[in-house]
Amino acid sequence: MHIPDGFLSPSVCITGYALTGGVTWQCLRQIDRDRDIQANIPKASLLTAAFFVASLINIPIPPTSIHLIFNGLMGALLGYYAFPAILIGLFFQAVMFQHGGMSTLGVNAIILGTPAIAAYYLFQQRHLLRDKKPFLTTILSFASGAGALLLSATMFAILLVTNISPDMDINAERTAIFISLGGYGIQAVIEGVFTVMLISFLERVKPELLNS
Amino acid sequence: MNKLYFILSLLVLTTVPKQVLAHGANIEYRETSAINIQAKYDDGTPMANAQVVIYAPSDRTTPWLKGTTDQSGNFTFVPDTNAENIGNWDVKVRQSGHGDITSIPVSKEAENAAITQLSSDGSDYTSAQKAVMAAAGVWGFIGTALFFSRSKSSKLD
């Protein structure tokens, strides 16, 4: 779900960078208000490492192959730290593995990062109810893991469909993009289940990690 | 992202029947060089039925040829070697938001049949190299985590 160089027009890329700049600034302001930055940065850093290597694991789902993203998981666990963490992870993926591109770094950060923040807000809803907490946590962790990925996939598809190069066969490319959305649906389930597993594990082993 | 492997190879082409007379047949042939590209994803799976757009050096804005790759990600075309088309031919491959663009140099003397393996973005790392790079990156993040999680007492030392 990383848009490579050359797919988007310069104006879209610049807009992406501008939005990313704004969101990063906003997130850093929120982080600055955090009372326990020193405890949260190691957590963010470790999850950035996981995000960075997760993209190297390919799962072939025809017609394309997908790779795990875990942006919903990062949002649920990290809160506002997730956006800068994803931005840093994307930068390293683009530079080291040409996964994504430098010109599209801003756009990719918006595609993957803003759903992470949305997942954070969704996951925070588990504090609404006192009772039945384990069940609610399970539902919300699945929803944040799968929902963030679906949101990213939707943004990715909309951006691509509206930016198909006129030299291409637009209908064929549009069909290919819609078919790939099916693959992302499967990926959303995989990531949702993984998020549930990891969060229920953390809840039993180290519940303080979840109170961001 | 995808990586494309481009294999420039000499192919013997066409037996062109120029004219068919009553009973005689005349077969002419000429050798041309064709460019065969193979488009693959990062993990080595071929990009089947991906769209290919080719731009000649003389006009970089209008496509010179459009087509799709076959099931194994292959696409072959014969560049014309007119004087104005000597130079880098741009080949763009796209499939559902994946793809790449690369330049293939075409010279007048296209007889050098050497198989050139061009990686579109110069990132033709082996898996061992990738593993080391990933490990180095991960260690950087872990190091950052360890740095920020050092205890307050050790900070005073």
Query: Are the beta carbons of A97 and B130 separated by less than 8 Å?
Result: yes
pLDDT one-digit tens code per residue, A70-81: 999 999 999 999
pLDDT of residue B34: 84
Query: Are the beta carbons of B148 and A41 separated by less than 8 Å?
Result: yes
User: Domain spanning A10-210: which CATH class is it, in words?
Assistant: mainly alpha
Cα separation of A55 and A90, whole Å? 10
With a CB-CB cutoff of 8 Å, which residues 8-37 of chain A face chain B? Answer: none
Collect all residues of chain B within an 8 Å Cβ-Cβ radius of residue A179: 96
Has residue B113 got a pLDDT over 70? no
pLDDT one-digit tens code per residue, B16-62: 444 445 677 788 888 777 888 888 877 777 888 888 888 888 887 88
pLDDT of residue B4: 47
Cross-sheet strand order for the sheet of B2-9: B74-77, B34-41, B2-9, B116-119
Helix (H, G, I), strand (E, B) or coil at A32: helix
pLDDT of residue B16: 41
pLDDT of residue B94: 83
Return mean pLDDT, chain B: 74
Q: How many CB pairs under 8 A join A and B?
A: 114
pLDDT of residue B124: 67
Mean pLDDT of B123-142: 85
Collect all residues of chain B within an 8 Å Cβ-Cβ radius of residue A177: 96-97
DSSP structural state of residue A34: -
**pLDDT-flagged residues of chain A (< 50):** none
> ipTM score of the complex?
0.76
Per the CB < 8 A criterion, the answer to whether A194 and A73 are in contact is: yes
Query: Are the beta carbons of A177 and B96 separated by less than 8 Å?
Result: yes
pLDDT of residue A89: 94
- Show me where the domains of chain A are located: 10-210
pLDDT level of residue B118 (50, 70, 90 thresholds): low
Query: Are the beta carbons of B145 and A169 separated by less than 8 Å?
Result: no
pLDDT one-digit tens code per residue, B70-88: 888 899 888 887 777 788 8
| Long-range contacts (CB closer than 8 Å, 24 or more residues apart) made by B103-111 | B104/B6, B104/B8, B104/B35, B104/B37, B106/B35, B106/B57, B106/B79, B106/B81, B108/B81, B108/B83, B110/B10, B110/B32, B110/B33, B110/B81, B111/B10, B111/B33
Has residue B14 got a pLDDT over 50? no
* Tally of CA atoms within 13 A in the half-sphere of B119 that contains its CB: 13
Q: Is the whole model's pTM more than 0.90, yes or no?
A: no
pLDDT of residue B108: 67
